[in-house]
Amino acid sequence: MASFIEQARRQQIIAAAIWVLAHEGYASASLARIARQAGISKSVISYHFANKNEMFKAVFDHVVNAAGAYMTPFLKQAGDPACQIAAYIRHHMAYMAEHRDELLAIGMIAINHTDADFQATLARSTAEEREILTSLIEAGQAAGQLRAFDASILAAVIAKAIESALDEWAWRLQLDLTAYADELIALFERGMRKDEP
């Protein structure tokens, strides 16, 4: 198990990688540039990560795990499945608003990093997100809240709608993510509920 100092150093490198990816782009995110941002030598990165692929995967895992930890309490507090779906959308947007660099960084990696192992990690993460939404929708259908439809299709649509908000926000800083969440929730509730709320 890594020592506290080793864990802290890894987090320092991850934070530097996030900053470079978010502010300078994927093409600039060399190990040398990330090391310079972190105020360390390139060899220190090589000590903690076998290669760039491993470092980028660590960045991705860090952001995904942090987002999950942020969202979980809100989902637990939301109550019924329909409210949990609304909470899923709302607090995804809230996490974006509070962690812009992190979301931009993993977006840069997802779009540009073609390593097969990383793409497999990305595919698993996407599938897990869809499974969470699908299970919430199916629970809402079983409870009589939501009408009958293919839950997996709507799960994919909701996930893509959230992803599109990040794409829009990346280019339009003034985008109101709270209002964006409100409109998405209203849209999906009207489309999914048996009776309009």
- For residue range 115-135, what is the model confidence (pLDDT) as tens digits? 998 999 999 999 999 999 999
- Tens of pLDDT along 132-153? 999 999 999 999 999 999 999 9
The verdict on residue 114 lying in a domain is yes
The verdict on residue 17 lying in a domain is yes
CATH number assigned to the domain comprising residue 47? 1.10.357.10
Question: In sequence order, what are the residues at sequence separation of 6 or more whose Cβ sits closer than 8 angstroms to the Cβ of residue 165?
Answer: 93, 96, 175, 177, 180, 181, 184
Q: Residue 36 pLDDT > 70, yes or no?
A: yes
The verdict on residue 197 lying in a domain is no
Q: Residue 197 pLDDT > 80, yes or no?
A: no
Please give the pLDDT value at position 1: 57
Domain span holding position 22: 4-192
Please give the pLDDT value at position 127: 94
Indicate the burial class of 26 (C-beta count within 10 angstroms; 0-12, 13-18, 19 or more): middle
Please give the pLDDT value at position 78: 92
Residue 2: pLDDT band (50, 70, 90) is: low
Indicate the burial class of 38 (C-beta count within 10 angstroms; 0-12, 13-18, 19 or more): buried
Q: pTM of the entire structure?
A: 0.86
Tally of domains within the chain: 1
